Structure 1
Amino acid sequence: MNLLYGLANVLLLSGLIYLIWRQPNPAFLKMFYWPALILKLWAGLLVGWLYQHYLSGGDTFVYQKQADILSAYALQEPKSYLHFILTGEYPSEYLYGIMKYRGYSNSFFMVLLLHFLNFITHNHYYINCLYFSLFSFWGCWQLTKAITSIFPVTQMAAVLAFLFFPSVVFWSSGVLKESILVGSSALLLAGVLQFIYLPGSKWGALLKIAVAAYFCFKIRFYFAVAYFPLLASFALLQLISRKKHFAESKKLFLYAGAILVLGIVASFLHEAITPAYFFKEMIKSYDISRATTSREAFIDLPDLQPTYQSLIYYAPKAISSAIFRPFLGEINTPEYGLAGLENLLIFVIAVLALFTFRQNKPAIPLTLVLSLLIYSLVVAALIGFSTANLGSVSRYKIAFMPFLLYIWLQTGVNQKIMLPIENWLIRQFKA
């Protein structure tokens, strides 16, 4: 990379960071901005370094190499390149043959994003890591801002869940699909909350919703098919409730009906969303993952079949494994030991929330609690059913983990624990 590109990217990244900082931010959040941002950017660089030196490159470097090929093609054959970008049709056998992910829509979307960034970064992988990490941070920051403004009693839970929880920060950084997924799913919820509760920012909220929904769908359409109807049902009920007051039981009935109707509509968003095809592909993914897993510990679902009966039977094991495994000591390596420690913490938080929820119920609307819980459980099931490798599970589960942690951390005894932490941090910041 020459000096001009380096300087341009330093200026551009600094400008973007400054714009996020200069937007109106709740006073409580100001103390967290720079620590959370720096942690996120360093995590992105660390992810790249670990993949390069210890994990044989992984998919992140394959994305970069494919993006480099496409960027070079754009300079060599600009007319053919534009035709390809605008139509999706391959103009040459060379390009068709060399594009590794042409049959994988979300992986190819990663290649497209990276190749556009290459024009700015001059194909520099680690600078691309910074841009991906910044996008993820921006989405999480927007959501934390919205929560702090609308549900201030849960602000500490949001900060910990979306900005500082170790695995969430690490695995949603760098050139990974999860960076785009977590950033866009958080941004989508932020836009929905803004649209409902902050009337002065309707157009900005709609823009966030549109951008975030597009990225969510392109990067993990099968997660989006679960996420979109749930958020839409929550939003619809909240908007209707402003004009008509419903009993809680009737509100839940209408919420369930909205999920059913919108879920059916969402099933038409992609041709692959048919039960027979989806179940078959999910089981196929599990079998491949199981066959390539050399570790002693894995998600063992013997005789898993693409039927409703089989999936229902194995659902508890798939969901609990996706949330809480690997257990501490289950695999005797340093990285799994760290994952085990964090999962032990997650387990303690979950148990405290479950057994003491009557003391302090979540301070956000019940329909939002249900939406985030259902989304988390559905995605946990999908991950457990399709992935046997616990290392992959540790990464994939951050698609839902911050939302689940946000609910648990504001429930029961956990809410009482959050308050002194929050007060202590405020005193430190003022000092």
Structure 2
Amino acid sequence: MELKDLYITPFYLAIIYIVAYQLRPAVTNVYTKKYFIPALTVKVVGAIALGVLYHTLYGGDTNNYYRQAGIVYHAFGDSFAAGWELVTTSGDVTPAISKYTNQLTWFGRGNNEYFVIRVAAVFALLSFNTYTVIALMFAAITFSGMWVMYMTFAKIRPQVYKELATAVFFLPSVFFWGSGLLKDSLCLGALGWLLYSFYRGAIERRNMLRCLLTGASAVGIIFAMKIYILLAFMPPALLWVFNENSSKIRNTAVRWLSKPLFLGVGIFVALYAFTQLAAADERFNVDNIGAQSKLTSDYLQQVSAKEQGSGYNIGVQDGTIGSMVKLAPQAVVVSLFRPFLWEARNPTMALSALEALYFLVLTIRILWRVGLIKTFSAISQVPVLTLCFVFSLIFAISVGISSGNFGTLVRYKIPLMPFYLSGLYILQSIAMPMTKVRTKHLITSSSTQMART
């Protein structure tokens, strides 16, 4: 951070809030309006806080992204054509950009980090290469995805719009790690838009072309940085669409006859996407997934040894799918409910431990009040619960096994946290419904608002 951050940032911050206040009437209703500005504010605070922490204490990815985006920014100053080629290149080095690519550690075909540098470089052009402003722009575009995620859940279950706001916006790890100049911010925002596109286009069947384009863009963004999010999200999302559409068929015979068709199409799409991904990237070949997970876990455990106790060990991996299956229960526990309070070694781990404790207490409390049989029945019968919990479990297993380090786990797991907590709140509301009058008003208002967006 530099002196210019202090006098340029307030100007851009004012613009962001002016735009937000102008947009708020179009994207909120009487119940959700009060959360719009506070939700944006925590994203802003998270982006700035992350920058301050990394620039003063830790160093790390966000600083590296900024430095390398600065190289592209200066390339624009030398030659707009060279700068634009750096932003749009497919990874090939040409004479026009070679002197810049030699300075870029993360440049190259298939390099996940370079996508973040492209986006940051464009924002740098709009902000005189000011770190804090770039971070605020990341926060703003991430907030847009988080807001449509919230409105999607609120449309499905408006009875718990207050609790859903907590689940989506106000978890400290989510707004801290998911707001600033990091891959996690862009992935989280894109995931929100992908959820919205599925619901609006494939389930409500409105604005289908726009949703197709939006969903494809979201897939492209996530694919460019963290493919494993798509691998975890797409199967339950397709199952969600299948369940929602089959439940709308009133004729029982037709519904049961259509189920194999819907399910077959969903399985075919999922398998086709996976095989194409495996062909493009050998890390996702079925034979290599276990080995790749073991390699990642071993590396992060070595890193954790240098970080004085931030690592964890849930069992021995031998690089096979079978060993991953055996470690799945421990992986779910570590992703959702750890670190425990006594495992915290620094302030950020302590904050994560408090969140994990909250998840544990809330899970036990809701399961106790709802009951195991009713819980599994609701998850199997309510499509949105199937989506939330299946995605959360798949994602928890993947990051829990591959991380091996609480410091990285707290960042890796933030995509699952809004889904898991939203699922808990929706489950609780189904088991203990509100009064019919209150529910009717909420559904009517939510439907009116979603029709405008």
Q: What range describes the TM-score normalised by the shorter chain of this pair?
A: 0.7 to 0.9
C-alpha contact (below 8 Å) 1:26/1:149 kept by paired residues = no
Q: Per-residue CA shift, 1:370-393, capped at 9, x if unaligned? A: 222222112111112221111211
The alpha-carbon deviation at position 290 of structure 1 amounts to 0.7
Structure 1 residues 32, 6: CA separation in 2 closer, same or farther (over 3 Å shift)?
Answer: closer
2:165 alignment partner, one of 127, 150, 159: 159
SS of residue matched to 1:356: helix
The alpha-carbon deviation at position 352 of structure 1 amounts to 2.5
SS of residue matched to 1:268: helix
Higher RCO structure, 1 or 2 (CA under 8 Å, sep 6+): 2
Structure 1 residues 193, 39: CA separation in 2 closer, same or farther (over 3 Å shift)?
Answer: same
Structure 1 residues 150, 412: CA separation in 2 closer, same or farther (over 3 Å shift)?
Answer: closer
Q: Per-residue CA shift, 1:127-175, capped at 9, x if unaligned? A: 1111111112111111222332342123233211102222222221111
Match of 2:32 in 1: 29
Match of 1:411 in 2: 427
Structure 1 residues 331, 148: CA separation in 2 closer, same or farther (over 3 Å shift)?
Answer: closer
The alpha-carbon deviation at position 86 of structure 1 amounts to 4.5
Q: 2 CA distance for matches of 1:364 and 1:26?
A: 31
1:378 alignment partner, one of 379, 394, 416: 394
2:336 alignment partner, one of 323, 346, 349: 323
CA RMSD for the aligned pairs?
A: 3.2
The alpha-carbon deviation at position 407 of structure 1 amounts to 0.4
Structure 1 residues 302, 239: CA separation in 2 closer, same or farther (over 3 Å shift)?
Answer: closer
Q: TM-score, normalised by structure 2?
A: 0.83
Q: 2 CA distance for matches of 1:63 and 1:169?
A: 19
Structure 1 residues 315, 146: CA separation in 2 closer, same or farther (over 3 Å shift)?
Answer: closer
Q: 1 CA distance for matches of 2:357 and 2:294?
A: 28
Q: Which moved more, 1:339-348 or 1:326-335?
A: 326-335
Q: 2 CA distance for matches of 1:3 and 1:330?
A: 37
Match of 2:408 in 1: 392
1:350 alignment partner, one of 340, 363, 368: 363
Structure 1 residues 124, 149: CA separation in 2 closer, same or farther (over 3 Å shift)?
Answer: same
SS of residue matched to 1:89: coil
Q: 2 CA distance for matches of 1:347 and 1:254?
A: 39
Q: 2 CA distance for matches of 1:171 and 1:3?
A: 22
C-alpha contact (below 8 Å) 2:47/2:179 kept by paired residues = yes
SS of residue matched to 1:74: helix
> Partner amino acid for 1:410?
I
Match of 2:291 in 1: 280
The alpha-carbon deviation at position 210 of structure 1 amounts to 2.8
Q: 1 CA distance for matches of 2:193 and 2:270?
A: 21
The alpha-carbon deviation at position 79 of structure 1 amounts to 3.5
Q: Which runs of 5+ in 2 are unaligned?
A: 443-453
Q: 2 CA distance for matches of 1:175 and 1:246?
A: 51
Q: 1 CA distance for matches of 2:421 and 2:257?
A: 28
Q: 1 CA distance for matches of 2:5 and 2:344?
A: 44
> Partner amino acid for 2:426?
Q
Q: 1 CA distance for matches of 2:154 and 2:326?
A: 40
Q: 1 CA distance for matches of 2:129 and 2:330?
A: 43
The alpha-carbon deviation at position 21 of structure 1 amounts to 1.2
Q: 2 CA distance for matches of 1:106 and 1:78?
A: 24
C-alpha contact (below 8 Å) 2:145/2:190 kept by paired residues = yes
Q: 1 CA distance for matches of 2:350 and 2:6?
A: 42
Q: Per-residue CA shift, 1:350-376, capped at 9, x if unaligned? A: 223333335687599623322222221
The alpha-carbon deviation at position 256 of structure 1 amounts to 5.5
Structure 1 residues 243, 416: CA separation in 2 closer, same or farther (over 3 Å shift)?
Answer: closer
The alpha-carbon deviation at position 296 of structure 1 amounts to 3.0
> Partner amino acid for 2:168?
F
Match of 2:80 in 1: 78
Match of 1:298 in 2: 311
Structure 1 residues 258, 182: CA separation in 2 closer, same or farther (over 3 Å shift)?
Answer: same
Q: Per-residue CA shift, 1:293-350, capped at 9, x if unaligned? A: 1333532144311112211111111221111111011234333222212211100112
> Partner amino acid for 1:288?
Y
C-alpha contact (below 8 Å) 2:246/2:259 kept by paired residues = no
Q: 2 CA distance for matches of 1:66 and 1:34?
A: 32
C-alpha contact (below 8 Å) 1:383/1:393 kept by paired residues = yes
The alpha-carbon deviation at position 233 of structure 1 amounts to 3.4
Q: TM-score, normalised by structure 1?
A: 0.86
> Partner amino acid for 2:29?
P
> Partner amino acid for 2:100?
L
Q: 1 CA distance for matches of 2:285 and 2:199?
A: 31
Match of 2:449 in 1: none
Match of 2:325 in 1: 312
> What are the residue-to-residue correspondences of 1:165-244 with 2, within 5 Å?
165-196=171-202, 198=204, 201-243=207-249
C-alpha contact (below 8 Å) 1:362/1:410 kept by paired residues = no
Q: Which runs of 5+ in 1 are unaligned?
A: 427-431
The alpha-carbon deviation at position 50 of structure 1 amounts to 0.8
